[in-house]
Amino acid sequence: MKQKPVCDLIGFFKPKSIALIGVSRGASAFGGLSFMRRLLDAGYKGAVYPINPKAVEVLGIKTYPDLAALPEIPELVTVCVQAAYVPAILKECVRLSIRHIHILSAGFSEIGTEEGKNLEKEIASIAREGNLLIMGPNCMGPYCPSAGLTAWGAIPGLNGRLGVISQSGGITQRLTEHVTSLGVGVSKAASIGNATIIDSPEYLEFMGEDKEIDLIAMYLESVRDGRRLMRISGNISPCKPVIMLKGGRSEEGAITAASHTGGMAGDVKLWNAFFSQTGVIPVKNINEWADAVLAFSLLPKTEGNGLFIVGGGGGNSVIYSDAVMEEGLEVPALSQTSMDKIRSFVPVAGSIAGNPLDLWESFVNTDRLCEILDIAYKDPEIHMVVVDRLIPRIAFHSPEIDDPIPQIANFIGSHTQKKPTVFVVDYDGGDPELNAKGSALRTRFCLSGIPAYPSFERAARALVHFQKYYLRFKAKDRM
Amino acid sequence: MKQKPVCDLIGFFKPKSIALIGVSRGASAFGGLSFMRRLLDAGYKGAVYPINPKAVEVLGIKTYPDLAALPEIPELVTVCVQAAYVPAILKECVRLSIRHIHILSAGFSEIGTEEGKNLEKEIASIAREGNLLIMGPNCMGPYCPSAGLTAWGAIPGLNGRLGVISQSGGITQRLTEHVTSLGVGVSKAASIGNATIIDSPEYLEFMGEDKEIDLIAMYLESVRDGRRLMRISGNISPCKPVIMLKGGRSEEGAITAASHTGGMAGDVKLWNAFFSQTGVIPVKNINEWADAVLAFSLLPKTEGNGLFIVGGGGGNSVIYSDAVMEEGLEVPALSQTSMDKIRSFVPVAGSIAGNPLDLWESFVNTDRLCEILDIAYKDPEIHMVVVDRLIPRIAFHSPEIDDPIPQIANFIGSHTQKKPTVFVVDYDGGDPELNAKGSALRTRFCLSGIPAYPSFERAARALVHFQKYYLRFKAKDRM
């Protein structure tokens, strides 16, 4: 059977020139003018052509009355006019052989009226006949830090190995901002809205073959060709992890999704079957999504699900054990060799020698912590490590200590055994200074290549996704 | 049947004098000396008597060779010596008619040796024969801000209406610090460790009758008399919510619990039956615990489980709907009257008029937000409200706006309809400044009497616990 060729989507992400249609001074809060301002602020280096028949210049840049008047054929057209005017613009694009069009405008099937639905059908028909590639409508469009195309999302953008495909601009903004601030950069993100012409399977196929992308995060509400999504996901998933936040799992969520992007969210059972058949990793909220992205971006592969937990305190050791067991991870007993070493420095009273290891000293003595990591890395029962890291707080009587991160990062980075190791820095009270301190510590861990999470539960959930993926696809890795 | 009288535990929390035994200069990191220093730092106003036969003074305070040498009988004795020396001290307490004894020392049944188990049996026997009240051993002991007794936990303490009973000092430190920093004060907290003599049912009964306490948070690993705990919990729960973090739910967690406080954590099915029969509210981790404490401390009662969700954006509206439906809350359609009002100001394209309401303006126009709250409070389908609140971030193009909290708090506080309303301020990326900004905003909401949470999912979970409790006990309230 002949396969559809992978769409030529690169023009969306690295266009040499962009024409913006609908850049008026009477624009609404988030119209074309504001979008253009962000594009310029974000440092896009290509040519920007505002189209406005009534103005001479906008934001200091010469305007043109229409696409035909431009000095060159723009590689990408961003359409910001009211929905009713979009069909005429698309016809002009066909006439001028412009292929890549991002429709920011909303007001199509998602508003639920006959007029909106008919407009969406009309643009679909024009696009198919004219062989247009359309991102949207009703979306923020492409985002590509290496091209300076970061009018929305994290600004300044950070180039990296992550691809994002999303039916929500807001969610994509949150995800890209979140991971970028922790040092995980984005190769390409597509906010695809109603995805009327090019749908998620095409973007996924494109990113699956994109050598600049190692990991794909998706937010989907609906898909037109579910079989195609399943086939492509199943092909890509063993090579590149695909982490999906599926919106509209519940009936109420599905109703909201129809008002958001106009599609039917589909049956939860079908989606569960999709996840189990393809190996695509399902997450339920943005934090879980970002946490998993962090783990897959920074950690070496794991060979198993045996977790070693270090340093949380007695009560925490208990509830952490509960949490990981409920998640399906193991907290195996350490080997006799490991226990002999550990007993040599863990006090009999007030600590717990074992797994979890409850040892106050692990918070304040980095040499000891590295010794503990060394024991874990050499123990065949242990495959992954999570370390609780306190920030100094008065209730814990915890002293300020020298910055431990360089020593820890160096130890982990240079160890011959590569076992996924994450940290938890979990201050969550109301003191803004301590929140900033905790955040700074987590960020510096991440920038040193070590994922750090704001709660143990979030670390555990990220590791669950991580190990499930690698245990599933281990066989293929080894072929 | 004659009931055991409620234990006279007030001497632990508001003692006029404290003797500390085991205050030596060669103390370990967390020995008696450090505990005494914290006691003095924390501003305890009663008499402090360090006992040390070899010193003249410690930290500038006169020492005494033994309890008998003190100028008065101390109301509370805190024992910090090695476990083997504890029995002799208890005998001395019996002889001197000292009843309230906190044993900080560890090294009893929790270390798993015959010697440890026998020592615990011995102190139990001395205590029973001598009618001693013992908190511990292996615990941080009492905490009571109104008495300045805050050697551990949040320092400075904040007096309030919360009671805490916990088998983990570390967990109690985390909880008290967390809620105190958000303006929810603590009346009394007891870190009860192995709970050898006085066990959780007695502390619960005491706090149940304590007029200074409205809400009780418990962390338990084990209990000796489960029937007694069930009976007392069942009596107290309809009058005062009891929120319990149960450690050792899993097999691994139970094994760890045995190493922590020496008890058997018990069957998960029995504990599930306990929760469903008593109405005690089960939580799984510290954040969920603190979040629920915040809701129960600050919110008016709810009459139902219909939630109105305001302002999250399109994609968030979808995943928020999913989240609350999966938690068992409802996201009902608004009444026709409400919808007519809302449609008058919600744009057709790019927003969603309904429940959830996706309206960018709700972030930046506080008058509009109050108008929306007014609509919700007057809508009979709506019982609770959750509002997404952005902090200004560049990726959202969100402007700095005037401080909205006084206006919001005043509007909610003075509205004739009291419906539980919470906010979500969810920045969770790696920028320490934005984390501090989000934290400051949450804290200021809480200090204004409005719970604010760092994620929608955490807000929803807190509201689930909250409404379940009030729907269960509504009938009793009305009797």
Task: Read off the pLDDT of residues A67-90 as tens digits, 9 standing for 90 and up.
Answer: 999 999 999 999 999 999 999 999
d(C-alpha A82, C-alpha A58), whole Å: 19
Contacts of A19 (CB under 8 A, 6+ apart): A49, A50, A51, A64, A67, A70, A74, A76, A77, A78
Residue B1 lies in a domain: no
Lowest mean pLDDT among A150-154, A236-240, B441-445: A150-154
Q: State mean pLDDT over B455-468.
A: 96
Q: In sequence order, what are the residues at sequence separation of 6 or more whose Cβ sits closer than 8 angstroms to the Cβ of residue A197?
A: A123, A124, A127, A128, A132, A133, A134
H helix intervals, B104-209: 114-130, 169-181, 200-209
A327-383 confidence digits (pLDDT tens): 889 999 999 999 999 999 998 877 888 999 999 889 889 999 999 999 999 999 999
Residue entry with tokens 């418990």: B218
Determine which of A164, A179, A318, A388 to mutate to test the interface with B (most B C-beta atoms within 10 Å).
Answer: A318
CATH assignment at residue B79: 3.40.50.720
Of the three residues B77, B102, B135, the one that is the final residue of a domain is B135
The per-residue pLDDT for A240 is 97
- In this prediction, residues B131-148 reach a mean pLDDT of 95
The number of angstroms, rounded, from the C-alpha of B233 to the middle of its chain's C-alpha atoms is 17
Shared domain for A180 and A285, answered yes or no, is yes
Q: Are B130 and B148 members of one domain?
A: no
* Chain B neighbors of A398, CB-CB under 8 A: none
Residue A138 to residues A66, A78, A109, B314, B458, Cα–Cα distance (Å): 22, 12, 10, 11, 30
Q: What is the mean pLDDT of residues A189-193?
A: 95
Cross-chain residue pair A247–B285, CB shorter than 8 Å: no
pLDDT tens per residue across span B35-67:
888 888 888 989 999 998 888 898 899 999 999
Tens digit of each residue's pLDDT (9 = 90 or more) over B224-252 = 899 999 999 999 999 999 999 999 888 87
Q: SS3 string of B267-324?
A: CHHHHHHHHHHHCCEEECCHHHHHHHHHHHHHCCCCCCCEEEEECCCHHHHHHHHHHH
B14, with CB counted inside 10 A (0-12, 13-18, 19+), is: middle
pLDDT tens, residue by residue, B143-157 = 999 999 998 877 789
Order of strands across the sheet that contains A452-453: A307-310, A384-388, A421-424, A452-453
**pLDDT of the residue at B348:** 80
List alpha helices for B74-130, DSSP H: 86-96, 114-130
Q: Is residue A253 part of a domain?
A: yes
Shared-domain flag, residues A105 and A204: no
Span B166-198, pLDDT tens digits: 999 889 999 999 999 999 999 999 999 999 999
Tell me which amino acid residue A247 is: G
> Do residues A398 and A363 touch, judged by C-beta distance below 8 A?
yes
**For position A450, what pLDDT does the model report?**
98
Among B260, B318, B358, select the one facing A315 at the smallest CB separation: B260
Residues A265 and A287 in one domain: yes
* Residues of A with Cβ-Cβ distance to B313 under 8 angstroms: 168, 170-171
Residues of A in contact with B322 (CB under 8 A): 247-250, 252-253, 284
Whether B160 is covered by a domain: the verdict is: yes
Q: Is residue A1 part of a domain?
A: no
Q: Are strands A452-453 and A421-424 parallel, antiparallel or unpaired?
A: parallel
Torsion of CA A300, A304, A306, A310, to 10 degrees: 0
> Which residues are paired to A143 by β-bridges?
A189
Q: Which chain A residue has the Cα nearest residue B173?
A: A395
Count of alpha carbons within 13 angstroms of residue B473, beta-carbon side: 22
DSSP of A259-288, one letter per residue? HHHSS----HHHHHHHHHHH-PEEESSHHH
Q: Is B319 in Cβ contact with A245 (below 8 Å)? A: yes
Q: Are residues A349 and A218 in the same domain?
A: no
Lowest-pLDDT range of A296-305, A358-367, B464-473:
A358-367
pLDDT at B26: 56
A147 in the same domain as A289: yes
Query: Is the CB of B253 less than 8 angstroms away from the CB of A321?
Result: yes
Which among B38, B170, B454 has the least Cβ separation from residue A315? B170
Question: For A84-118, what is each residue's pLDDT tens digit?
Answer: 999 999 999 999 999 999 999 999 998 889 999 99
- Whether B114 and B154 map to the same domain: the answer is no
Q: What integer pLDDT is reported at residue B258 of this predicted model?
A: 78
Phi, psi of B190 (to 5 degrees): -125, 115
Q: Do B171 and A350 touch (CB under 8 A)?
A: no
d(CA B414, CA A282): 43
Q: Which of A167, A319, A321 sits opposite B315 (nearest CB)?
A: A167
CB–CB contacts below 8 A, A to B: 292
What 3-state class would DSSP assign to B64?
strand
Q: What is the pLDDT of residue B4?
A: 53
| CA A310 to chain centroid | 28
pLDDT of residue A478: 39
Evaluate whether residue A449 is within a structural domain: yes
Higher pLDDT, B403 or A135: A135
Instruction: Give the three-class secondary structure for A4.
Output: coil
State the smallest CA–CA distance between residue A56 and chain B in angstroms. 26
Task: Determine, yes or no, domain membership for A5.
Answer: no
- The CATH number that applies at residue B280 is 3.40.50.261
Comparing CB atoms, the residue among B250, B322, B435 nearest residue A325 is B250
Q: What confidence score (pLDDT) does residue A403 get?
A: 86
Q: Identify whether the C-beta of residue A259 lies closer than 8 Å to the C-beta of residue A302.
A: no
Reading phi first (left if > 0) and then psi (alpha if -120 to 50, else beta), residue A136 is in: left
- The string of pLDDT tens digits covering residues B292-306 is 999 999 999 999 999
Burial class (CB in 10 A: 0-12, 13-18, 19+), B423: buried
Contact yes or no for A348 and B111 at CB 8 A = yes
Mean pLDDT of the region B451-467: 96
Which residue has tokens 């062989």?
A131
Closest to A174 measured CA to CA, from B202, B396, B33: B396
- Token pair listed for A237: 């998933």
Q: Do A294 and A232 fall into the same domain?
A: yes
- At residue A471's C-alpha, the angle toward residues A465 and A475, to 5°, is 145
Identify which of B80, B90, B82 has the alpha carbon closest to the alpha carbon of residue B34. Answer: B80
What gap in Å lies between CA A123 and CA B337, rounded to an integer? 36
Across the interface, which of B249, B352, B433 has its CB nearest the CB of A436? B433
Looking at the complex, report in whole angstroms how far the Cα of residue A478 sits from the nearest Cα belonging to chain B: 32
Q: A111 to chain B nearest CA, in Å?
A: 6
Query: Rounded to a whole number, what is the distance in Å from the CA of A348 to chain B's nearest CA?
Result: 7
Q: Do A322 and B178 touch (CB under 8 A)?
A: no
Give the whole-angstrom CA distance, residue A348 versus residue A326.
Answer: 29
Q: What is the ipTM of this complex?
A: 0.92
Question: Does B29 sit within 8 Å of A395, measured CB to CB?
Answer: no
Residue with tokens 């919600």: B346
Contact call for B429 and A352, based on CB within 8 A: no
Average pLDDT over chain A, rounded to an integer: 91
Of the three residues B82, B113, B135, the one that is the final residue of a domain is B135
In this structure, the answer to whether residues A342 and A373 fall within a common structural domain is yes
Average predicted confidence (pLDDT) for chain B = 91
CA distances from A134 to A202, A205, B220 (A): 11, 16, 58
The domain of B219 spans 141-298
Residue-level pLDDT at B1:
39
**pLDDT surpassing 70 at residue B365:** yes
pLDDT at B479 over 50: no
* Rounded Cα–Cα distance for residues A428 and B288 (Å): 11
In tens, the pLDDT along B371-383 reads 999 999 999 999 9
pLDDT at B2: 42
- pLDDT tens across A215-250, in order? 999 999 989 899 999 999 999 999 999 999 999 888
**Number of residues that this document lists for chain A:** 479
Kindly state whether residue A269 falls inside one of the protein's structural domains. Answer: yes
Q: Is pLDDT above 90 for B468?
A: yes
Span A441-473, pLDDT tens digits: 999 999 999 999 999 999 999 999 999 999 999
Distance from CA of A223 to the nearest CA of B (A): 15
The answer to the question of residue B4 being in a domain is no
Q: pLDDT tens for residues B257-281?
A: 777 877 766 788 888 999 999 999 9
For residues B264 and B284, membership in a common domain is answered with yes
Q: Are residues A329 and A274 in the same domain?
A: no
CA angle B194, B198, B204 (to 5 degrees): 105
Residue B74's pLDDT is what? 97
The Cα A50–Cα A47 span in angstroms is 10
Of the two residues B29 and B171, the one the predictor is more confident about is B171
Q: How many domains does chain A have?
A: 3
Task: Give the residue from B135, B157, B173 where a domain finishes.
Answer: B135
Mark residue B63 as left, alpha or beta (left: phi above 0; alpha: psi -120 to 50; beta: remaining).
beta
Residues A340 and A459 placed together within one structural domain of the fold? yes
Mutate one of A36, A222, A322 to test the B interface: name it (highest B CB count within 10 A).
A322
CB contact under 8 A, A173 and B395: yes
Mean pLDDT of B307-317: 89
On the CB side of A471, how many CA atoms lie within 13 Å of its CA? 13
- CB A321 to CB B106 under 8 A? no
